[in-house]
């Protein structure tokens, strides 16, 4: 059995985000179940899907007044860089690196969903952002200043101590 399974506890209430997250969980499990022959293709599939997953969330943030260098987007880039580094190891025959990284994603994903993605989904719901059309129903509830942190605020609507943890890996 996979070390990470989808459950409704992981749902955040933004349909497109939840759909993508379910796909991520399934693709990560497929890597876990892969034979050595299947491993690199499945890892590439997970990287390709994760690129689209993160690109979508990054776009939603740009659409809703996050600075391009905000904490959540920066974290996405770091995770993808590490996954691609894992692929390079795998291409040299170091499959154990890919398998270990994939196992770490089973821990990373629920933490990311519970912190950065949950904060983003709460913010998007609050301002009435439609991920399909890009329409914002309640623009008056958006902060005037650009958002640099991991959440829907210009400064600290994450409690002290929560933000460094969310940004620190």
Residues engaged in binding Fe ion (CB under 5 A): 57, 117
Query: The tokens of 9 are what?
Result: 């506890």
Question: In whole angstroms, what is the distance from residue 27 CA to residue 33 CA?
Answer: 10
Tell me which residue has its CB nearest to Fe ion: 117
CB-wise, 56 or 95, nearer to Fe ion? 56
| CB of residue 137 to Fe ion, shortest distance in Å | 22
CB of 143 to Fe ion, least distance (A): 19
Shorter beta-carbon distance to Fe ion: residue 40 or 70 = 70
**Cβ(118)–Cβ(10) under 8 Å?**
no
Q: Which is nearer to Fe ion, 39 or 101 (CB)?
A: 101
Contact call for residues 47 and 53 (beta carbons, < 8 A): no
Identify which of residues 67 and 97 has a Cβ nearer to Fe ion in the complex: 67
Alpha-carbon distances of 82 from 7, 33, 88, rounded to whole Å: 26, 21, 10
In the complex, the smallest distance separating the C-beta of residue 155 from Fe ion, rounded to whole angstroms, is 20
CB of 40 to Fe ion, least distance (A): 24
CA distances from residue 88 to 24, 91, 132 in whole angstroms, order as listed: 21, 5, 35
Residue 14 vs 34, nearer CB to Fe ion: 14
Alpha helices in the chain (DSSP H): 15-32, 36-63, 71-91, 95-112, 118-127, 162-167
Q: How far is the CB of 149 from Fe ion (least distance, A)?
A: 14
């Amino acid at each position: 059995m996979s070390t990470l399974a989808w459950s409704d506890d992981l749902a955040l209430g933004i349909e497109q985000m939840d759909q993508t997250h379910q796909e991520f969980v399934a693709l990560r499990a497929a890597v876990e179940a892969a034979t050595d022959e299947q491993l690199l293709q499945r890892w590439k599939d997970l990287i390709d899907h994760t690129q689209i997953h993160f690109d979508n969330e990054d776009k939603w943030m740009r659409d809703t007044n996050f600075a391009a260098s905000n904490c959540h987007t920066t974290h996405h880039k770091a995770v993808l860089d590490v996954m691609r580094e894992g692929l390079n190891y795998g291409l040299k025959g170091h499959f154990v690196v890919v398998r270990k990284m994939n196992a770490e994603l089973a821990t990373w994903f629920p933490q990311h969903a519970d912190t950065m993605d949950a904060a983003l989904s709460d913010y998007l719901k609050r301002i009435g952002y439609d991920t399909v059309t890009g329409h914002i129903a309640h623009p008056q509830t958006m902060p005037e200043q650009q958002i640099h942190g991991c959440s829907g605020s210009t400064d600290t609507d994450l409690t002290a101590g929560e933000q460094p943890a969310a940004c620190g890996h």
